Amino acid sequence: MRKLKVAVLYDEIEDREKVEAEAEGKKFPVAYRQLEQALRERGHTVNVMPLSSDVVDLVSRISNLDCDIIFNLAETFGGVSQHEQNVAALLELLKKPFTGSGSIGLALSQDKELSKKILAFHGIRYPKYAVIDSGKVEWSDDLRFPVLVKPVSQDGSIGVDIKAVVHTIKGLMERISYIHSELHSPALIEEYIDGREIYVGVLGNEKVEALPIFEMGFSKSSEDEPKIASTEAKWEEGSEAARNTFEFFPTDIPQEVYEKIQKAAALTFRLLKLRDYGRIDMRVRQRTGGDWEYYIIEANGNPHLEMESELPKAAMKHGLDYPDLLEKIIELALDRIGSKALLQPANSD
């Protein structure tokens, strides 16, 4: 690959979070530093740029960026995940080439209700659900307990703690109220899929390939605890929930089922208009008769690229080490942009 000028964009809030976490003695590895180092080692020129919440200033800083490609690591803007799509929209308006999904893909995947409607059209299975916004029922399937209550569009398991799985009407009411009043979001109520938690990384555009399936195991958790990737399990290093989970590459899923799961992930990626790289979170279970069922839980347009997270690990298993993965993402983005540019008048950019 030729040597490029890469600008790495990330939400400046990460720096604050890092300082806070480290003050509490916790580790907080940030993807942008790992990316900077890995790409520099491959001979690229890397310029790291935090996104400040002063948009006016930001517009001029981004406009003045001198780079071949922007590596967009902004999963939030000012800490708000719903603004993820607006960062991509800004880059689109400024005609800056960037890696990863565009504003449309991020908007579709971020809204878990909208995602389901698209998946429904194509017959892809997801948990039955209801959405309640300020007391108004937007949609409701005929649900059975237990259910899991979460915000309709968030990331990083925000609002998904151990109390998110409820078994009673009382529990449900309280949880909906919590989502409304504390997280200021419509509540998404889903049938709880008591199954295994898997993550499928996806790379590509015209040709989309699914990476090896990665699984989060819960077998160390106690019987009565819900087996979910809760806020604590994901982010609270040393917490009981984190200690009770572990990640691995499953080897017991029959090949035919394995491939179907990968295909469903690749199709979901396409249908939600994701680009370059993504991660589809799913649940699988085996019915009493032995049949396997899989459900899409959510699609992530800008999945975490911290070295130890699911997508880089799955890529590694697939033979792409961290710098290989980053270069692959850049190549996919440049290819995609290159072919589009050919369709535009020569003086349009």
Ligand X SMILES: Nc1ncnc2c1ncn2[C@@H]1O[C@H](COP(=O)(O)OP(=O)(O)O)[C@@H](O)[C@H]1O
Q: How far is the CB of 45 from ligand X (least distance, A)?
A: 34
Q: Which residue has 């697939």 as its token pair?
A: 318
String marking each residue 9-48 x if it binds ligand X according to CB under 6 A: ----------------------------------------
Give the range of 50-58, 62-70, 95-103, 147-155 binding ligand X by CB under 6 A: 147-155
Nearest to 84 by CA among 95, 98, 63: 98
Q: How far is the CB of 68 from ligand X (least distance, A)?
A: 31
Q: Would you say 5 and 70 are in contact if contact means Cβ atoms under 8 Å apart?
A: no
Nearest to 158 by CA among 85, 231, 228, 240: 231
Task: Tell me whether residue 82 or residue 157 sits nearer to ligand X (CB atom).
Answer: 157
Under rule CB under 6 A, residue 336 binds ligand X = no
Under rule CB under 6 A, residue 160 binds ligand X = yes
State how beta strands 5-11 and 69-72 pair. Answer: parallel
Angle, CA 47 vertex, CA 60 and CA 273 arms, to 5°: 75
Please identify which residue in 11, 191, 281, 327 interacts with Mg ion, judged by CB under 5 A. 281
Under rule CB under 6 A, residue 297 binds ligand X = yes
Q: How far is the CB of 96 from Mg ion (least distance, A)?
A: 28
| Packed helices 112-121 and 255-271: angle between N→C axes, nearest 10 degrees | 110
Nearest to 328 by CA among 205, 215, 214: 205
Which residues fall within 8 angstroms of residue 305, CB to CB, at 6 or more apart?
31, 34, 35, 73, 311, 312, 325, 326
Segment 226-245, which members bind ligand X (CB under 6 A)?
Answer: 228-229
String marking each residue 162-191 x if it binds ligand X according to CB under 6 A: ----------------------------x-
Give the range of 148-156, 174-182, 202-210, 249-257 binding ligand X by CB under 6 A: 148-156
Question: What residues make contact with Mg ion under the rule CB under 5 A?
Answer: 281, 298
